[in-house]
Chains A and B, each alone.
Chain A
Amino acid sequence: MGRMLAWLDERFHVIKPHRRFLQRRIPDGLNYAYCFGGLAFTFFLVLAGTGLLLSIYYIPSEKEAYRSIVMINETVLFGWLIRSLHKWAASFFIVSIILHTIRVFATRSYRPPRELNWMVGSLTFLVAMASAFTGYLLPWDQRAYWATEVGTAMIQTIPFAGDALMLAVRGSNEVSGATLIRFYSIHVLFLPLCMGLLLWMHFHMIKRQGIAKRL
């Protein structure tokens, strides 16, 4: 391990530039409550990894979505494991974000000069919730269908623009195959892209400003 790193460093000088952010100063008195952000990011990495794997077998079509889920669970080697990891990591991802938010709120770390990071963090939470909502439809079973039917119907209650917005989300008057492929695309392309950008901003800001001192 050490020799491999030395070999790399001799040629590319990798150690010095990485020291800057691997060996950062952190304030005294930090505790495990400060780990929730990192924990959430770990779950995000698990979600990204298992999600990439699931996309190999999942078929986002009205006729075959449910069948492909059953196939992943029963036929594919470790399919049940990968799908369960994705499902549970999603739940724990949301929980970790909430705990992280509570910690930031409790230690008042949102105050200037970190207000922009709080906003980006809030957007991250919204993107995570949107990912959860769109991912929930993909198994295409009764629970998924009706959850989305009810969830998207709420959009209709927005004054004036409600009907148009709901049609934009569903892609048709009812939750249908059009909704399924729409949600699939949003779930695996749009939202992860947004999430990656937001997290990049989140981490760069914390790198610049450092962790807030405990009160």
Chain B
Amino acid sequence: MERRAFLRKAVFSFFSLSGISLGVAAAFLYPARPGARKEQDVYLMDEDDLPRRGVRMVTFSVHSDEHDVTMVNRVFVVGSPEGVIALSPVCTHLGCFVNWDANRKEFICPCHGAKYTMRGEIISGPQPRPLMQLPLKVDHGKVYLGVKV
């Protein structure tokens, strides 16, 4: 083989190999798809303690087997003539935790002033969606909350 032809091939192989390596490196660096989160029922309170009229903030903890950590979370349990619901405290704008303002009867987000009604509907602010409702289950006098872990 001629010297020039050999060099041309060598340079070509070098850049091909580098290209393949870069592809493998990129695939390696791309984060693994996290497994689908499983819904889990977490005990919240006894049925007798459910608020008939008003909002109660309840703190609960869930254990994630995948990451081996216990996370402490909170949820708003809202009682009204329409029934009892559980509202996620996460503002649908950028994910801050909203506070319940008992005087105004509104949920107010401290970050950008998003306001929600007692049942989580939008009053005003930058949020695109109402507060998320979480499933509540009553079983033998105990109230369970469905959360995805």
A interface list, Cβ under 8 A from B: 1, 49, 53, 56, 71, 75-79, 81-82
Q: Residues of B with Cβ closer than 8 Å to A?
A: 11, 21, 24-25, 27-30, 32
Closest to A54 in B: B28
Contact present for A53 and B29 (CB under 8 Å): yes
Tell me, in angstroms, the Cα distance from A49 to B21 when the chains sit together: 10
Q: Interface SS of chain B: helix, strand, loop or mixed?
A: helix
**Closest CB in chain B relative to A212 CB, distance in Å:** 25
Q: How far is the CA of A82 from the CA of B28 in the complex (A)?
A: 8
User: Which residues of B have CB within 8 Å of A78?
Assistant: 24, 27-28
Asked whether, in the complex, the Cβ of B32 is within 8 Å of the Cβ of A75, the reply is yes
Please indicate the chain B residues that have their CB under 8 angstroms from the CB of A82 in the complex: 24-25, 28
Which residues of chain B are near A56, meaning CB under 8 Å?
Answer: 28-29
Contacts of A77 in B (CB 8 A): 27-28, 30, 32
Report which of B11, B21, B32 forms a contact with A76, defined as CB distance below 8 A.
B32
Task: Give the chain A neighbours of B21 by CB distance below 8 A.
Answer: 49
Which residues of B sit under 8 angstroms from A81, Cβ to Cβ? 24, 28
A75 to chain B, nearest CB (A): 5
Return the chain A residue nearest B8 by Cβ.
A1
B25 in contact with A53 (CB, 8 Å):
yes
Q: 7 closest pairs, A vs B, by CB?
A: A77-B27, A78-B28, A75-B32, A78-B24, A78-B27, A53-B28, A82-B28
CB distance from A183 to the nearest CB of B (A): 23
B28: nearest residue on chain A (CB-CB)?
A78
| Residues on the A chain within 8 Å of B29, using CB | 53, 56
